[in-house]
Chain A
């Protein structure tokens, strides 16, 4: 059971906005540790999409955005594209576990 909880799947029509939630607790997201988001295409290694809650590395399209509030965070894909079909994971640090924690993962499907 993952420390950070994500919905197993989300879907939307191309061009729509979809959001993925990441719910943590007072020992990780709520403690002020940054939330980071990764995209994993089938058969490939994860790639960072958002770091430090809401920062995009160079090369990541601006249709991806992150936010954080309290003990939760969200990743939004504004204008879903077929190429965005992938698994998405959030990640933070947990002071109680003294280690990094990943979300359970969310599969995004473009209908």
Chain B
């Protein structure tokens, strides 16, 4: 059974940093691309970033480009999102999600971790 467990969220001041993690199990980790998707309180889903299976390809939403960095450790089956220069509008639940295929659907999701940016 595929399992994705998100962690690392918390309260941070504007301009601060946070590193999210997603521990994966139940599938051959290196074979699948992964994404981070966020959801602001009471709002819809917003794609944040994705990374290919070998980590060689990454891409970002314009709203986070230059501030967030996605990475993965295939030896530890773990996905990360380093978030710098956090803003109030980054407040959201962040989900990691497994891509069925590149450019395809997100077929498994973590439980989400809440990031709150406030002074």
Contacts and interface: CB of A to CB of B under 8 A. Distances in A.
Interface of A: 2, 33-34, 36, 38, 40, 45-48, 51-52, 57, 87, 89, 91, 93, 97-105
Contacts of A2: 44
Q: How large is the interface on B (under 10, 10 to 19, 20 to 34, 35 or more residues)?
A: 20 to 34
Contacts of B60: 99
28 contacts: A2-B44, A33-B103, A36-B104, A36-B105, A40-B45, A45-B95, A45-B109, A45-B111, A45-B112, A46-B106, A46-B109, A48-B106, A51-B100, A51-B107, A52-B105, A57-B107, A87-B44, A89-B45, A91-B105, A91-B106, A97-B62, A98-B59, A100-B47, A100-B50, A103-B44, A104-B44, A105-B44, A105-B45
Nearest to A34: B104
Contacts of B111: 45
A2 B95 CA distance: 19
Interface of B: 35, 37, 44-47, 50, 59-62, 95, 100, 103-107, 109-112
Main secondary structure of the interface of B (DSSP, over half): strand
A99 B100 contact: no
A2 to B, nearest CB: 7
Contacts of A98: 59
Q: What are the 6 A-B residue pairs with the smallest beta carbon separation, nearest first?
A: A36-B105, A51-B105, A100-B47, A105-B44, A45-B109, A102-B45
A52 B47 CA distance: 18
Nearest to A94: B47
